[in-house]
Amino acid sequence: MTYSTELTAIHEAGHAATMAYVGFPFRCVRLLTPDNPSGHAGAVEGSRRPDVGNPLEVRNFLGCVTAGELAVRKHFDGAFPKSIELPSSDACLADRAAWDRAAIDQQYCSDTRTEIARAILRQAARDAMAWLGVPEHWAAVREIADALLDHGWLTEGQVKNVLRRHIETRALTS
């Protein structure tokens, strides 16, 4: 196992576990081979874009997007970053300007829309950090990452089963 393979597994597990938790559907999460045409090392596949008319769904989706990078930071740095940077490594946010225009009422000027979009992203990242910070949730992310390293992919159902088991364990011991 290489550092980058472990990093990718943690990153994708952060996305997938958070998506399963907030109920955002996907088909599978997998590690990709180095020769894949996308150039990405991993992917959560079969998800859809959120309904931009539903602010909670947009915020939950953006929390899922930021959870990948935040999981990597927590795993390798031992903590979340003190300041929340907008993750540029995720392809899902590469078209952030289009998201700004679609998700925020056009009555605001461009600079205001950008500031509102950044505030939404920062709040979504804080939501993801709060969720990933729960020990049982973090244990589920680690187990999902280990399963990705062992098997290369997991279905949404398998991710939900891992998550459910960790959450039920917490409820039983509380």
What confidence tier does 91 reach under pLDDT thresholds 50, 70, 90? very low
What local confidence, expressed as pLDDT, does residue 158 receive? 97
Q: Helices in 90-134 by DSSP H: which ranges?
A: 96-103, 110-132
CA atoms of 80 and 70, how far apart (whole Å): 6
How do residues 17-34 score in pLDDT, each as one tens digit? 999 999 989 999 999 877
Name the residue ranges covered by the structural domains of the chain. Answer: 3-173
How confident is the model over 10-21, as a mean pLDDT? 94
| pLDDT bucket at 83, cuts 50 / 70 / 90 | low
Q: How far apart are CA 153 and CA 4, in angstroms?
A: 16
Q: What is the homologous superfamily of the domain 3-173 according to CATH?
A: Peptidase M41 (1.20.58.760)
More confident of the two residues 166 and 33: 166
Greater model confidence, 127 or 89: 127
